[in-house]
């Protein structure tokens, strides 16, 4: 797979998680079922991040950066967004039409860049 296709697939995973979040907040009333269903979706998304990783043949990337780093890079922002909405009780989706695009277009890419910096310079998961 080429790099643009890989990033499009990862973007699709993030969008799918936000779609799952919206469906769950709209139709599920049980807090425990809401929480469990969302994180089941996250658990199913983790292998997809491994599948779309471009670094399997890259000698400068330690395997832990793929097994742990890729899911953290692409799934952290949707998970934090869900937790903020879940624990704050904001289930009305009033500000979501503005907030979700900002999270997807600005916050997710900024977090991915910051996480790569953290993996390279603080954790030492990237060499070279």
Closest C-alpha among 19, 20, 26 to residue 40: 20
Return the pLDDT at 1: 60
Q: Quick one: average pLDDT of 98-113?
A: 94
The number of residues in the chain equals 128
54 three-state secondary structure: coil
Is residue 2's pLDDT more than 90?
no
DSSP result, 73-128: HHHHHHHHHHHHHHHHT--S-SSHHHHHHHIIIIIHHHHHHHHHHIIIIII--B--
Tens-place pLDDT, residues 32-86: 999 999 999 999 999 999 999 888 888 888 999 999 999 999 999 999 999 999 9
Break the chain into its structural domains and give their ranges. Answer: 3-123
- Residue holding tokens 């769950």? 24
**Torsional sign, CA 81, 85, 90, 91:** positive
Residue 128: per-residue pLDDT:
62
């Amino acid at each position: 797979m080429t790099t643009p296709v890989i990033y499009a697939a990862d973007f699709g995973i993030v969008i799918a998680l936000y779609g799952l979040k919206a469906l769950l907040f709209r139709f599920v009333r049980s807090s425990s079922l809401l929480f469990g269903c969302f994180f089941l979706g996250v658990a199913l998304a983790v292998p997809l991040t491994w599948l779309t990783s471009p670094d399997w043949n890259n000698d400068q990337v330690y395997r832990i950066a793929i097994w742990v780093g890729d899911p953290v890079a692409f799934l952290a922002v949707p998970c934090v967004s869900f937790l903020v909405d879940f624990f704050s009780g904001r289930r009305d989706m009033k500000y979501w039409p503005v907030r979700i695009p900002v999270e997807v277009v600005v916050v997710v890419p900024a977090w991915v860049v910051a996480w790569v910096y953290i993996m390279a310079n603080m954790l030492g998961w990237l060499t070279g």
